[in-house]
Structure 1
Amino acid sequence: MTQQVAFNQGLLDFLQHSPSPGHAVASMVKELEAAGFKALSESDEWQLTPGQGYWLVREGRSIIAFRLGEQPVAETGVRMMGAHTDSPCLKVKPNAELFHHGYLQLGVEVYGGMLQHPWFDRDLSLAGQVHFQDEAGKLQVALLAIEKPIAVIPSLAIHLDREANKDSTINAQLHLPPILGMTKEEQASPSFVLREWLARQLRQTGHQVTQVIDYDLCFYDTQAPALVGLEQELISSARLDNLLSCYTGLQALLSTSSSLAVTSLLVCNDHEEVGSASAIGAQGPFLESVLRRLSGAEQAYQRMIARSLFISCDNAHALHPNFADKHDENHGPLINAGPVIKVNANQRYATTAETSALFSHFCDLAKVPYQRFVVRADMGCGSTIGPIAGTKLGVRVVDVGAPQWAMHSIRETAGTKDAWYLNQALHAFLNQWQGD
């Protein structure tokens, strides 16, 4: 098995076992622990050893992992990679139970800017965090992923909406609540059906649950990730945006040696898809607080920032052959043609000419191709955690990502070469770059 094939198989496994941000973080922690990285708590005083790897988590959904270099960070800077653990989805409301015409449904909120039509007629299930009271009266939290399909959002038949293929409008409040089955409304107990069902699921996994207090749950598609194409050159999966980058950055960090002089760091935040404004999002203090603890005094912190580089990894829009006119004619990235350097004059991406040149250099060191993306001048542009990191920290930033189709759909597509190419460029950044 070649390195690229093994890497992609690992990516598929990671995607399969990460149906929610909490599960993605748990999957990353498992790999970090297997590689000898040690857990840290923000509430403890840290005693760090050069060459050792560490990780810490906030609220179970955002993670920072780093390997401390042999030299002080003020003298070398920190080589940082950033991604996000969340993806657009349907989040379950607190009082979710709906009883309509003999069917049990759950009320949902649209999380992030998702494509809504692809969520219809999918085999859906639930995943996320459940907070409960145990038999000793203490509050606990557990990750829960129901692996079997338990819900569906059925489409309206074409016979009942003859204009569906021309102009179909979805009302998120009325048309997106998934159906979980049949029920008799008069026998139902509103606001407790879901919690009681969750309690039973947790007990089956060994948890001592007296009652479920609250939850952070999302619906997800149970269809497994897959290789697609006559030559299996495409990856089809949910949550490629942006778990592909989380996995790619993690593997690059795990490749670092304990003898490196420079500290390497990966941050993966929740809440990017809704603006990052939270205690665990990129606009929060999580990353800055860790960097200040690594540097110590203010002078050392400022010297560290001046010597650091942050690579914001978030997937890019690949040119779609059926909609090629949606791209600038000179900036339409192709799948399996290398990672994409993302540029925007209005600072929706944080790339500068300097940081673009640096990332190009990393690709050259790794002997992988690279591309550039600029949105059409008559279209709006999305954003990433890159501008946030640049604004909050004052650090140099480059925005890059693997090209993909169907961004923010329930099922997205990327290339089998591009995640590997990106990993190799990040590996060169952490292990081969002489610094600048």
Structure 2
Amino acid sequence: MTELRTLKVALLGCGNVGAQVARILIDDADALAARTGARLELSGIAVRNLDAERDVELPQELFTADAETLVKDADVVIELMGGIEPARTLILTAMRHGSCVVTGNKALLAQDGPTLYEEADKAGVQLSYEAAVAGAIPILRPIRDSLSGDRITRVLGIVNGTTNFILDQMDSTGAQFADALAEAQRLGYAEADPTADVEGYDAAAKAAILASLSFHTRFALEDVSCEGITAVSAADIAAAKEAGFVIKLLAIAEKLTDEDGKTGVSVRVHPTLLPREHPLAAVRGAFNAVFIEAENAGELMFYGQGAGGTPTASAVLGDLVSAARRIVLGGPGRTETTTGHVPALPIDASITSYYIGLDVADQPGVLARIAQLFAEHGVSIEIMRQTIHRDADSNVESAELRIVTHRARESALAATVKAVKGLDVINSVTSVLRVEGV
């Protein structure tokens, strides 16, 4: 029997995901060797604190604080440190020494992906990052490989498990945002500082990666319009539920034509109303899903666990096996799939619907004035619901209006809301959310 060659695998970071990757490499060594045609030897684990307690028991001799020496002597480097530096420098060092790289670092890819892709091409090595988007869900390889002969027109994704859990709690229990966030933190779904999740930054980084692969153009974080979920109230959730909708934080990338006839791609992240019959509406808890529309394949949905040590480790190992096979068989590393430049369009160019909550004076002619203003801006109303409220102290009646528009250009919808705020019969605009899937 032919002796298998050995490939050295360096691991940078041993947090929740890194520890599970190390465990699988050790426990499943024989199975991985059979799949790759080579022994995958975990040559070392670079960590900041050698004495830190870890959830997985691993050989102490594997740990080192000298990440630079470790990556220079590896065939494949797995980067799970997160952050921009020193991860960026270590990845570049690894590739310049001929190592393939597997990373789950969405922030680095969204901020400085082009530099990493160019260095990988120059060095002839493979750069893989399936774990950077949607945890265990195999979504990047299907976009890059399975749909490479098709034209993707639109991608909608629930790509942040923390916000999906929070919104699902608010929808199913009626909880306020703060209470749902506290529950997410108690269960370990949300960090002590949840800003990156609840403000949409995490989803925006993933949206940039999805858009880059789907439309064969480099999109960076600054190309993504981003809005988080902190302003979504229990009243918004309840009103959406009454109207047959559910609110999700969606990452959306779509090809469209702006008012000047220029074709480009709009990439955006924001709270969105979805009809309850839409496939993404059924995604509960901390799960993720990505919904793709393509010219020939039609509609596709990928669903699964979007976070967690073991699920995300599955995606990392898939990339590792792919890189190891390439090394064993020879040939160039997989290159970036950009084929041209499609401009990033601002959110104003997108076509969507608005859900608008208004507190208005309860007097004759109010509805007519609002409808006329909408018509003047070229926006038509699909649904309008009115509820009368009486203030217990002043005995003054006011009306709450919930309006869902027909699809229109974002710029026209935003201008309509701005004009409505100027009407003397409007007490306040209580909420403005976008609607998709109708």
TM-score over 0.5 for the pair? no
Of the two structures, which has the highest relative contact order with CA contacts closer than 8 Å and spacing of 6 or more? 1
User: Which has more radius of gyration?
Assistant: 2
Q: Please, what TM-score do these two structures have when normalized by structure 2?
A: 0.25
Q: TM-score, normalised by structure 1?
A: 0.25
